[in-house]
Amino acid sequence: LVMSYIEITGQPCAGKSTILNQISLDYLIRHIKNRFPKKILYFLSGINFLGLQRSKIIFGWSLAENVSFLFKLNIFFNCVSKFGIFHRHQNPAKYQDLKIVVDEGISHIPFLFLETDSKIVTNFISDELQMINVYILRSPEQDIIQARLLSRGHKRLQFIALSTFTDRIQEIEKVLLSQYPSLCKKFKVFDDVASF
């Protein structure tokens, strides 16, 4: 058997954490929220994997976001780190017979860039997507998402109105649902946690 590399994505508050809490014991990696030294390792690995030209493109997209400068740097750091995680775990010999699940990996990158055309972003990551099994949790009704965002909070809401944020995230989800079936190694859509 060959390793299975799976990413779970979906818009904020769609229910990804609930899924991960249910399946984490069966997988090698639960999600990318690691301790700081490992985050640095993933970032440096991502820079090395991407190279200067692709890293500069991501940095440009990050600078275009309507957030504080520190937040822009954080977006860049998180985006590059996703490539580092991907790069460091693409080793079938080392991870043979294992399922590797990444929460909000490369397939989640379009959700980071609200100010960049999502089709441009999906094209940018298309080579990597060909090697990734992507599971997307389709969002529930927008009023449910807005209620969850208000109760749980989201850092973006410091810089953007709730309705504007949810409208844009909904647009991105629609792009992924139309583009990913032909871009990903395998693509599955789940409408709720129970169907996962």
pLDDT per residue as tens digits for the range 124-133: 999 999 999 9
What is the structure's pLDDT at 1?
37
Which among 6, 47, 25, 39 has a CA at the least distance from the CA of 137? 6
149/120: higher pLDDT: 120
Report the relative pairing of strands 133-137 and 4-9 from DSSP bridges. Answer: parallel
- 48 band by pLDDT with thresholds 50, 70 and 90: very high
What is the structure's pLDDT at 145?
79
What is the structure's pLDDT at 15?
72
- What's the average model confidence in pLDDT over 140-157? 80
- 168 band by pLDDT with thresholds 50, 70 and 90: very high
111/13: higher pLDDT: 111
Most confident among 27-36, 78-87, 153-162 (mean pLDDT): 78-87
What is the structure's pLDDT at 82?
94
Which among 105, 166, 168, 174 has a CA at the least distance from the CA of 138? 174
Task: Please give the Cα distance from 34 to 105 (Å, whole number).
Answer: 13
- What's the average model confidence in pLDDT over 1-9? 73
The pTM score is 0.87
CA-to-CA separations, 17 to 48, 102, 167, in angstroms, rounded: 30, 11, 22
- 27 band by pLDDT with thresholds 50, 70 and 90: low
> Interhelix angle for 162-183 vs 142-152, to 10°?
120
Give yes or no for residue 185 having a pLDDT over 60.
Answer: yes
Which of 26-30, 75-79, 86-90, 164-168 comes out lowest in average pLDDT? 26-30
Task: Please give the Cα distance from 120 to 184 (Å, whole number).
Answer: 16
Query: Please, what's the b/e burial string for 47-75 (b: 16 or more CB within 10 A of its CB; e: otherwise)?
Result: bebbeeebbeebbebbeebebeeebbeeb
DSSP string, 119-171: HHHHHHTHHHHTT-EEEEE----HHHHHHHHHHH--GGGGTS-HHHHHHHHHH
